[in-house]
Structure 1
Amino acid sequence: MPTADVLFTGGAIFTGAGEPLDGFAVAVVGDRIAALVRADETAALIGPATEVVDLSGALLSPGFQDAHVHPVAGGTELLQCNLADSADAAESIARVAAYALSHPDVEWILGGGWSMDHFAGGAPTRQALDAVVPDRPVLLMSRDHHSTWANTAAIRLAGIDRDTSDPVDGRIEREPDGAPAGTFHEGAGDLFAAARPAFDDELAYRGLLAAQAELIPLGITGWQDAAVRASGAGIPDPVPAYLRAAADGTLKVHVVGAQWWRRDGGIEQVEAIVAERDRIAELVDPRRVSLGAAKLMVDGVAENGTAAMLSPYHDHHGHPTDNSGLSFIDPELLREAVTALDAAGIQAHFHALGDRAVREALDAVAAARGANGPGGARHHLAHLQMIAESDVDRFAEHDAVANLQALWATHEPQLDELTLPFLPDGAESRHYPFGDLVRAGTRLAAGSDWPVSSADPMQAIHVAVNRTFPGSDAEPLGGAAQQIDLVTAMTAYTSGTAYVNGREHDTGSIREGYLANLVVLSPDPFAAPAEQLHRTTVLSTWIEGAPVYRLSSVTVKEPS
């Protein structure tokens, strides 16, 4: 065996599954892991040019992979009017005012990141924006990208008034006389599509690079983009940016793109999705970018009453209403579509948040398995805010992967103020039932949904293990039975997502012959108390054997 280019030693090794190994070292030659050897048997691997990385007690892990993320949307928001991390409504409005002042020549003020829990009823008003920007249109996506906030100028330019009907897949918040109040939920945000400026490919490319510069320092070395070839809601299609970045060498991570299933379309979309997958495979190395998945938006979100529930939402007085949320895709069409996608080798990536949406998605996977047999595409359900107890076993039964956004599995204002009060008694116990899924033998993957919430895997892992956010004195959401152990959470974020992305043969694990996509974590989370997991940070990220981020660096380096 040749001497190593890089040798990691002096810390525990998490291989992508099971408890970490102590007393071992990892040798890298070129872009691959050459050996996992005992730490006292490395002398022959060290040559004059070997870089010896002394972990000094830190943990070496496979690079994290994000199973559900929107990098280009998040990156472009960083370049526009960015309201993420605003402390309250006043700060959000102040940021809009400051952006408008510093960008006097921008025709439309675009961006997003505002939090619904900062505004009464989760619905900010047009007047709040008019007070700081009365003369130009303002259009801002919510943090979860399920609602749009507009000022009066934008509403007028879009031709929306009291006579504008709610679309079938959305809702307009209204003033007493029926006039638009300023918040547009779900598909109602698409009413601005014809008026707002289109995203250009240059902005999307810059957004991709900005996103990569945010995500790589968090240890993320690959991801599944949860909406490519999408339109509407002010989100640019990232495919041209990915192709350009792959061609010019600026794309460092590996990417699977989930092609958007149009809610107003039918089964004819399958042929187009398959053709696009095959077209992109001829243009770029599929190991760098592939479009072998389809994104099916089954429902909305609970805080605006559009998540599809088995029981109706309650009103402000605790009484049941006639609203049980929205199924954006007819369940019969969903079953037909997933069966056809599965037959073509296309993975279904479901947004399934309410318990009815989860059931409809599982019904679709069951139909596909029944028609096409087992062992087909690796279908996965993301979000899973509520799952009926009777549906938990069906994940393993139908070989469906649970794609966890664990950072949300805790008591926090958006859940406690805008969701739980409007759900039936007992709903809290069915929220994000990760423990139930694990006990049922469900295969797990993990992601962030960034920019909806933080992309930091260690913050999400902290919540998955504790079911509370750092410093919280609340009880664990759903009780201790829904907590999962650290090995399970780390596995979901590494080899679990590698499986979903079809890359378990060369990423997601520390094994001989695998790509040297690695992350160094300190302090070692396995040596820390559970309540301190959020303190673990990334010291360095390595992609294909090269350091692309070190904590002391201020820029992301390019692999040679």
Structure 2
Amino acid sequence: MAGVADIVFVDGWIFSAPQDAPVRADVAVADGRIMAVGAAEDIAALVGENTDVVPLTGRLLLPGFQDAHIHPVAGGIELLQCDLTGAKDAEDCLRLIADYARAHPHAEWIMGAGWSMEFFAGGTPTRDLLDAVIPGRPVALMNRDHHGMWVNSRALGLAGVTAETPDPIDGRIERTQGGEPSGTLHEGAMDLVGRFAPSATGDLADRGLLRAQEYLHSFGVTSWQDALLGSGLGMEDSTMTYLDAVARGELTMRTVAAIWWERGRGLEQLPEIIDRRARIRDADPSGHFRASAVKIMVDGVPENFTAAMSQPYRDAHGDVTENLGLSFIDPEDLKVCVTALDAAGFQVHFHALGDRAVSESLDAIEAAREANGDLGNRHHLAHLQVVGMRDIPRFAELGTIANMQMLWAAHARQLDELNVPFLAPELVERYYPFGDLARARAQLCAGSDWPVSSPDPIAAIHVGVNRISEGSVERPLGEQQQLSLAAAVTAYTWGSAVVNRQEHETGKIAVGYLADLAVLDRNFFDLPAEDIHLTSVLRTYSAGSLVYRRGDESPDVFTGHQ
């Protein structure tokens, strides 16, 4: 070893794939990369007059977390709008909405998100509730999973949505017994109102991206895959938002974007997608922002009975219905589209919650491999709420990556009240089968789906290991599906680096790798599993630059230069 380090981390633990447990080692960083990992006496030789020596004193140093499924610009914008994620019930939602409206008297529309379906009967709030607090201005509020929108009468009137308005092919209008729109719009029906709302672009989008980046860095995240680049699900195209941030030198998050596949169109959109990829590559030849993936939404969500299931949904009385959910793209058309995208060198990022959607996605990947051979495009399926047993081994067989949202794999009101009673019991037994996938040697990665749920990787890892949310007294949601702590952390670091084709640059603490690092306030491998959630991030580094420092970090925690 030769040279002088810019930063040295000493007296701590490090964890990095393919380890099963942390090891004691010091780490030296120079020019944004890891220059050495080793014993204290060896690393000490790299300390110079201006080296920043960071004493970890038994804390844990990790590779930066990488979120493989997230909507950052939308999430950042929502932090700047009417944010309902902290609401505890319907009354709390209405209070927050009224407070926001009073604080923004000149806002043409009241926009925001974050209400939970379990706050309202049937998961469908009515326009009358909103009319009582904001009668004069249009209101459009996405729910927490972003598959439904709560609107008032003014918004419906401006959009011309009436009893005569038909349901779109990919959505549903909730209605009163008389057929009038009641105030909740599902899936594609959200666009009926959304297209009349103010566009979330320009300065608002710019501020949203930077707010999201700041927020995610506070959780130790250094890379993400944006799961929807384009216009869809009420989100605006953020291509220029990213490119403007790159041009200003403000994008510190390594970003892969999945271009939205418009489900109402077919292969005629492929040339446009190829062109968008090329324009982004030309605008940012460094590859810090890349659009190498395509997002295909195969089905919906169980809460509104649109997730594609192999067995019918039950009704409120437990009786079997004829509804199997929706496949947004015909399975045979899906095979054709995926085969063409694979041949064009795209990674396909599937939204697949129901077991039928998972099967249809894997069938499409299999068809692509039969036509094209294995091109190594690292296709991945996100969400995986229910997976059929015959499909578990197919992930490894087809080289398909399982993209886990671990935070969801626990009992919660929305799951227990709006999912479990309406699905066949044998499907419920296979909720989020992450343990089965790990045992079947599927490649695992992890993401949050923020702003659908918290972007905190440590909270998600806690659930992945325990199958219980922090502080919950509920029984675990399938103890046989628990992951080891090492497997969960590896999925959120190395596994997501593999998805993003960054595994030779990030996701490990190894010589030559970028110094994308997270310093935790304790070594959570030493904690009882039920206490993992007590851990938090003290510092985050991107290519050796400090991009987050916890606000209550006392001066004597890290002493600085030595």
TM bucket (normalised to shorter chain) is: over 0.9
- Please say if residues 369 and 376 of structure 1, whose CA atoms lie closer than 8 Å, have aligned partners that are also in contact: no
Aligned match of 2:368: 368
- Please say if residues 230 and 259 of structure 1, whose CA atoms lie closer than 8 Å, have aligned partners that are also in contact: no
Deviation at 1:400, TM superposition (A): 0.3
Q: Percent identity?
A: 54
Take 2:116 and 2:24, find their aligned partners in 1: how far apart are those partners? 46
Give 1:201's aligned amino acid.
Answer: G
**1:52-95 per-position Cα deviation (integer Å, ceiling 9, x unaligned):** 11111111010000000000001111111111121111111111
Aligned match of 1:470: 470
**1:419-462 per-position Cα deviation (integer Å, ceiling 9, x unaligned):** 00001122221000001000100000100000000000000000
Aligned match of 1:202: 203
Q: Aligned pair 1:335/2:335, yes or no?
A: yes
Structure 1 gap ranges (5+): 555-560
Deviation at 1:286, TM superposition (A): 4.5
Q: Aligned pair 1:67/2:68, yes or no?
A: yes
Q: Aligned pair 1:515/2:514, yes or no?
A: yes
Aligned match of 2:497: 498
- Please say if residues 169 and 187 of structure 1, whose CA atoms lie closer than 8 Å, have aligned partners that are also in contact: yes
Take 1:454 and 1:194, find their aligned partners in 2: how far apart are those partners? 27
Matches within 5 A, 1:200-349: 200-231=201-232, 233-349=233-349
Aligned match of 1:8: 9
Take 1:286 and 1:238, find their aligned partners in 2: how far apart are those partners? 19
Deviation at 1:304, TM superposition (A): 0.8
Give 1:242's aligned amino acid.
Answer: Y
Take 1:15 and 1:441, find their aligned partners in 2: how far apart are those partners? 19
Take 2:513 and 2:120, find their aligned partners in 1: how far apart are those partners? 48
Aligned match of 2:432: 432
Aligned match of 2:137: 136
Aligned match of 2:192: 191
Deviation at 1:553, TM superposition (A): 6.9
Give 1:446's aligned amino acid.
Answer: A
Aligned match of 1:527: 526
Matches within 5 A, 1:27-38: 27-38=28-39
Q: Aligned pair 1:111/2:112, yes or no?
A: yes
Take 2:163 and 2:35, find their aligned partners in 1: how far apart are those partners? 66
Aligned match of 2:382: 382
**1:301-323 per-position Cα deviation (integer Å, ceiling 9, x unaligned):** 00111100000100011111111
Take 2:180 and 2:23, find their aligned partners in 1: how far apart are those partners? 65
**1:284-337 per-position Cα deviation (integer Å, ceiling 9, x unaligned):** 134310000000000000011110000010001111111111111111111111
Distance 1:466 1:376, change over 3 A: same
Take 1:234 and 1:326, find their aligned partners in 2: how far apart are those partners? 19
Give 1:536's aligned amino acid.
Answer: T
Take 1:71 and 1:285, find their aligned partners in 2: how far apart are those partners? 22
Give 1:521's aligned amino acid.
Answer: L
Aligned match of 1:557: none
Q: Secondary structure at the match of 1:337?
A: helix
Name whichever of 444-453 and 101-110 sits farther off: 101-110
Aligned match of 2:548: 549
Deviation at 1:273, TM superposition (A): 1.1
**1:161-182 per-position Cα deviation (integer Å, ceiling 9, x unaligned):** 1111111101111101000000
Take 1:16 and 1:130, find their aligned partners in 2: how far apart are those partners? 53
Deviation at 1:17, TM superposition (A): 2.6
Take 1:261 and 1:43, find their aligned partners in 2: how far apart are those partners? 52
Name whichever of 377-386 and 189-198 sits farther off: 189-198
Q: Secondary structure at the match of 1:270?
A: helix
- Please say if residues 342 and 375 of structure 2, whose CA atoms lie closer than 8 Å, have aligned partners that are also in contact: no
Take 1:292 and 1:286, find their aligned partners in 2: how far apart are those partners? 14
Q: Secondary structure at the match of 1:462?
A: helix
- Please say if residues 228 and 258 of structure 2, whose CA atoms lie closer than 8 Å, have aligned partners that are also in contact: yes
Aligned match of 2:456: 456
Take 1:553 and 1:378, find their aligned partners in 2: how far apart are those partners? 40
Matches within 5 A, 1:397-416: 397-416=397-416
Take 2:394 and 2:243, find their aligned partners in 1: how far apart are those partners? 37
Take 1:413 and 1:342, find their aligned partners in 2: how far apart are those partners? 39
Distance 1:345 1:493, change over 3 A: same
Deviation at 1:278, TM superposition (A): 1.0
Deviation at 1:23, TM superposition (A): 2.8
Q: Secondary structure at the match of 1:131?
A: helix
Take 1:529 and 1:287, find their aligned partners in 2: how far apart are those partners? 40
- Please say if residues 12 and 20 of structure 1, whose CA atoms lie closer than 8 Å, have aligned partners that are also in contact: no
Take 1:549 and 1:411, find their aligned partners in 2: how far apart are those partners? 32
Distance 1:194 1:522, change over 3 A: closer
Name whichever of 281-290 and 320-329 sits farther off: 281-290
Q: Secondary structure at the match of 1:268?
A: helix
Take 1:243 and 1:333, find their aligned partners in 2: how far apart are those partners? 33
Deviation at 1:195, TM superposition (A): 2.0
Take 2:411 and 2:21, find their aligned partners in 1: how far apart are those partners? 30
Distance 1:230 1:17, change over 3 A: farther
- Please say if residues 523 and 535 of structure 1, whose CA atoms lie closer than 8 Å, have aligned partners that are also in contact: no
Deviation at 1:235, TM superposition (A): 1.4
Q: Secondary structure at the match of 1:221?
A: strand
Give 1:515's aligned amino acid.
Answer: L
Distance 1:174 1:286, change over 3 A: farther
Aligned match of 1:76: 77
**1:95-136 per-position Cα deviation (integer Å, ceiling 9, x unaligned):** 111111111111111111111111110000000000000011
Take 1:458 and 1:22, find their aligned partners in 2: how far apart are those partners? 20
User: What is the TM-score of this pair, normalised by structure 1?
Assistant: 0.97
Give 2:536's aligned amino acid.
Answer: T
Name whichever of 378-387 and 8-17 sits farther off: 8-17
Give 1:281's aligned amino acid.
Answer: R
C-alpha RMSD of matched pairs (Å): 1.1
Take 2:259 and 2:534, find their aligned partners in 1: how far apart are those partners? 36
Give 2:53's aligned amino acid.
Answer: V
**1:393-413 per-position Cα deviation (integer Å, ceiling 9, x unaligned):** 000010000000000000000
Name whichever of 435-444 and 2-11 sits farther off: 2-11
Q: Aligned pair 1:482/2:481, yes or no?
A: yes
Structure 2 gap ranges (5+): 554-562
Deviation at 1:21, TM superposition (A): 4.2
Take 1:364 and 1:271, find their aligned partners in 2: how far apart are those partners? 20
Matches within 5 A, 1:14-29: 14-29=15-30
Take 1:163 and 1:116, find their aligned partners in 2: how far apart are those partners? 26
Take 2:335 and 2:280, find their aligned partners in 1: how far apart are those partners? 26
Q: Aligned pair 1:442/2:474, yes or no?
A: no
